[in-house]
Structure formats: C-alpha cells, structure tokens
Amino acid sequence: MFLPAVRSDGDGQTQSPPVLQPSGLAVLVAGIFLSVLNASMSTVVLPWVQRDFGVRDDTLVWFVTGFLIPFAIGTLVYGRLVDSLPLRPLYTAGVLVFAIGSLLIAVAPEFWTAAAARAVQGAGPTALPAMTVPAIVRAARESRRPRALGTVVLAVGFAFGIGPLAGGALAEWQGWRAPFWVTAVAAALLALAAGRWLPPLPGRGRARLDGVGLGILAGAIATAVYALNRLSKAGDDPTVTVAGASALVLWGGVVAATFVRSEPLIPRDLVTNARFAALCTFGAMAQAAHFVAVVLLPLYLARYEGLSAAATGLWLAPGAAMLGLAGIAAGSVAAGGGTQRGLVWSGWGMLVAAAMLHLLAFGWPRWGVAAVYAALAASFGFANTLTLRAVATEVPERWVGTGMGAFNLAFFLGGAAAAALAGSILELQAERTASWDPFVSAEAVEFADAALVALLAALAGFAAALAYPRLPRGTGTTWRRPPRWKPNRVP
C-alpha cells in the first residue's frame, strides 16, 4: 500500500503531504455511497424502462451493459491515472461526468438515447472507487486509515441496503426517470464539495497510458458483448458472426500488446501473476452470478407476480441489505487471517444459491424468490470484500492503483458479459414452455434457463477459489510456492 511521502519545496525544505480531513473523507464516502446507490437503484426500474420504450429483453440489457462497459474500462484507466495525476481535478471531473450522464438519462426521449446516456454515466462514477482507497492510503494518517476504510465499507453496505427501496419508491412516485434526476442533482453537489474539500494530493509523474492498447481492449469488449447479446439471432443476423470473429482477433491483439509493447495497459507483472489471475477470475464470476440475478429478478417479479416498482424494491431489499452486512462481516474475517478459507466458503455459498435460483426460485412464491436472492447476495457480499483484501496483498506496491483497476475491469466485465448472455437466452426462450434443463419445472422457463448463466459462473468462481491458495506466488519469472494453507487454530 502507498505510504505518505514527503515533498521538497524550492528551498530544499520538506513538506508533509496533504492530510485527509474529516470533510475530505466525507466527500469520498459520499461518492462511494452515491455510486453504489445508483447501481442498486437502476436495476430495480428495468421493467418500467422496458414498458416505457417497448423494447425486447435482449435489447433492454443494453441499458445495463451500456453502463458496465465504460465503467469497467474506466476502472483501469483511472487506476493508472490516479497513480500519476493530482487527485482533486481528476475526481471532480469524474463526478461531473456522472452528473451529466444521469441528467441525459432522465431526459432521454427514446431507448437508444437512454442507453447511450447510460454509457456516459458509466464513464463518471468509475473514478470514485478507483480513487477512494488510494486517496485514503496516501492522505490519511496511518492511525486513522482502518477507521476511514471501515467507514467506506459501511457506506457501501448502507447504499446496497436502501438502493432497491429508494429506487422503487422514487419510480413509484415520479416514474423510472426519478432516480436519475436525484442522482444528477446529488452528483452535481458532490462535484462542488470535491473541488472544495478533497486534499490537493499531487501527481507522482507523467501519466503513461497505452492508447493503442486501450483502443484494442475497448473494441474487444464491445464486440464480445454484442456477440453474446445477439446470440439468439445468430442464424439470421450475420453481424453476430462478424462481431464474434472480430472479438477473437481483438482479444488476441490485447494479449499481443501486453507482451510486445514497452509500457502495456496492464503491466506484465500483473498478467503473469497466477494468484492475481485467479482472484480476477473469481471476482468476475462472482459478479456475473450476482448480476444475472439482479437483472432477472425485477423483470420476473413485475412480469409474473405483477408487482409495482415500490413492491419490487421491497422484496429485493432484504437481499441487498444482506449483501452490505455480509461485506462488513467479511472485513473481520479478513482481519483474522481467514481470507483463503472465506473465499472458498463464499464461493460454495454462491454456487448453492445460484443452483436454487436456476432450479427452484422461478416456481416459488415471492418470499422464496427473496430468500434465494438474499442467500446469493450475502455470499457475493462476503466474497467481494475478501477478494478485494486478497488482491491488495497480491499486487506490488508500485502497481496498487493499476492492479485494483485491472481487477475491477475483470469484475465488471464479468457482469456485463453475463447480463448480455442472460438477456439473449431470455429472448430466445420467451415463447417456449419447456426448459433446457429437465430438472426445471417452473412456469417461467425463460427465466430459469437464463439463470443457468449464473449457475455456470458460480461454478467457475468456486473452482478459482479452490485453486487460489494452491497457485504459486509472484510473476511468471519470479514464482515461488506459497506456504501450505492451514486453518487458524486457537492455542
């Protein structure tokens, strides 16, 4: 982790770096809270976005993936920039983009304008998680860092807990656009506060960003997500084949650029770190499993149960609250040295909950659906906190910002890809009465089959959690076998 460094003024005298005051910490915490609240509110309103614009299920998913793709890429970009550029203007710029994107969504006249505005919105709040932890580590006094980081975790948990309730209530009151109006106003106020109260942390040198690699990566992501989203139309739409082939070529270009260019977008030390790769895989698959549920459940509750926006938010709120509480509890587990064991158990919990979602939940009453989501969300919240803690221990100090950005890139891409594939399956199975899985007997077979994406993702994540402690530590050229993991024993 970064340690505050002293700076020298023109007379050769040393100056202490800016100290993070309570007002500055409040800005950082408010930013994380607003970012998570926006994500939690926006999925609840999906059925009413679909109803307002009259789009199909696979098209509706772009309202989600349109946000996630720039958010995922932005975590990597901001992760690189925060290591080099001053904090205050960079953070303020991200919040202003967040506000502008939210406003554009609120006034969008048709669906694709709203989806494009979601992309603009996604490019803004991605700055907030990428900068918050480095800012606390660099500017907060060492004795106050644990409390400051704990406050951030509490804000995340609280935002997840009230997000579905707030989104549903606002949508019930003034329509699905209301949460985005609120977000736009709140982000504008946050930008003013950031410009005034954030510590003026200086940059650490020239920002080195591989523009070519970034362009190839963005193309690879966009074509892959498009191909997954349009998979149900592969026989009739030649663009699906073109996009799939382009994605393979571009992902090959990403790999080549990483090992050929002198300063690649993602440092080779990270790419060749087997344990870091396992954590990225686990995080991506956990996000995939959870995000499929977050997209499917509001649509199911509105379509099959006939629930209003407020009622949908109410039934999903216990799961969101469990997510936040489990994330907070996981912090204590990590502090006690139980990270590796916790990853395995949380991965197992997600696997069991995803299996129940696929096999049973879409034939159960609404309380059963809420219970399954609560189990899945709790496991995800626990896994997310532990994974972030593990990533911080695996990334070299000089690559903290970039490493967290690379992890978040994989994390959110997992959600985007899974949501795109689930939307395609939902559209493909919409008119069918029999599930692909003979063990599924639910009436809503299209939702059960789409939830199969969550089950397969959870299975892959569990495998990555089992592999993580057994993998060698370090890069491909400096591997060393880690000590064998043993459970903590109380003397």
**Domain residue ranges of the chain, discontinuous segments joined by +:** 19-204, 210-264, 270-475
Mean predicted lDDT score pLDDT of the chain:
85
pLDDT at 460: 97
pLDDT tens digits along 280-291: 999 999 999 999
In the chain, the N- to C-terminal Cα span, in Å, equals 31
pLDDT at 123 over 60: yes
pLDDT at 450 over 70: yes
| Residues 244, 224: Cα–Cα separation, whole Å | 6
**Quick one: what percent of the chain has pLDDT higher than 70?**
90
Nearest to 25 by CA among 98, 131, 125, 96: 131
| Residues 319, 373: Cα–Cα separation, whole Å | 6
Which pair of tokens denotes residue 146?
Answer: 């644990």
Pick the more confident residue, 275 or 1: 275
Classify domain 270-475 by CATH architecture: Up-down Bundle (1.20)
pLDDT at 10 over 70: no
Orientation of helix 87-106 relative to helix 127-139, angle to 10°? 150
pLDDT at 469: 86
pLDDT at 39: 87
| Residues 32, 26: Cα–Cα separation, whole Å | 10
Q: 253 Cβ partners below 8 Å, 6+ apart?
A: 216, 220
Q: What is the mean pLDDT of residues 358-381?
A: 92
Indicate the range of 40-44, 88-92, 207-211, 487-491 predicted with least confidence. Answer: 487-491
pLDDT at 481: 44
Distances (CA, A) of 259 to 67, 263, 406: 29, 9, 16
pLDDT-based confidence at 487, cuts 50/70/90? very low
pLDDT tens digits along 163-198: 898 999 999 999 999 999 999 999 999 999 999 898
Q: What is the mean pLDDT of residues 122-126?
A: 89
pLDDT tens digits along 196-212: 898 887 766 665 677 78
Q: 280 Cβ partners below 8 Å, 6+ apart?
A: 406, 407, 410, 411
Query: Phi and psi (nearest 5°) for 114?
Result: -65, -40
Q: 8 Cβ partners below 8 Å, 6+ apart?
A: 14, 15
pLDDT at 361: 86
22 burial type by CB count under 10 A (0-12 exposed, 13-18 middle, 19+ buried)? exposed
pLDDT tens digits along 304-346: 999 999 999 999 999 988 988 888 888 777 777 778 889 999 9
pLDDT at 397 over 90: no
Which pair of tokens denotes residue 194?
Answer: 């950031």
pLDDT-based confidence at 261, cuts 50/70/90? confident
pLDDT at 4 over 50: no
- Look at the domain 19-204 and name its fold: Growth Hormone; Chain: A; (1.20.1250)
Q: Which helix or strand (DSSP H or E) is residue 350 part of?
A: helix 339-359
39 burial type by CB count under 10 A (0-12 exposed, 13-18 middle, 19+ buried)? buried
Q: Which helix or strand (DSSP H or E) is residue 259 part of?
A: helix 238-260
pLDDT-based confidence at 425, cuts 50/70/90? very high
Q: What is the mean pLDDT of residues 9-36?
A: 75
Distances (CA, A) of 408 to 77, 127, 218, 401: 11, 11, 15, 11
pLDDT at 477: 42
Which pair of tokens denotes residue 433?
Answer: 């009465």
Q: What is the mean pLDDT of residues 226-252?
A: 88
pLDDT at 3: 34
Q: Could you tell me how many residues make up the chain?
A: 491
Query: Phi and psi (nearest 5°) for 107?
Result: -110, 5
Gyration radius of the chain's alpha carbons: 22
Pick the more confident residue, 101 or 258: 101
**What 3-state class would DSSP assign to 465?**
helix
Which pair of tokens denotes residue 171?
Answer: 């949508």
Fold agreement between 19-204 and 270-475: yes
pLDDT at 204: 65
| Residues 153, 159: Cα–Cα separation, whole Å | 10
pLDDT-based confidence at 268, cuts 50/70/90? confident
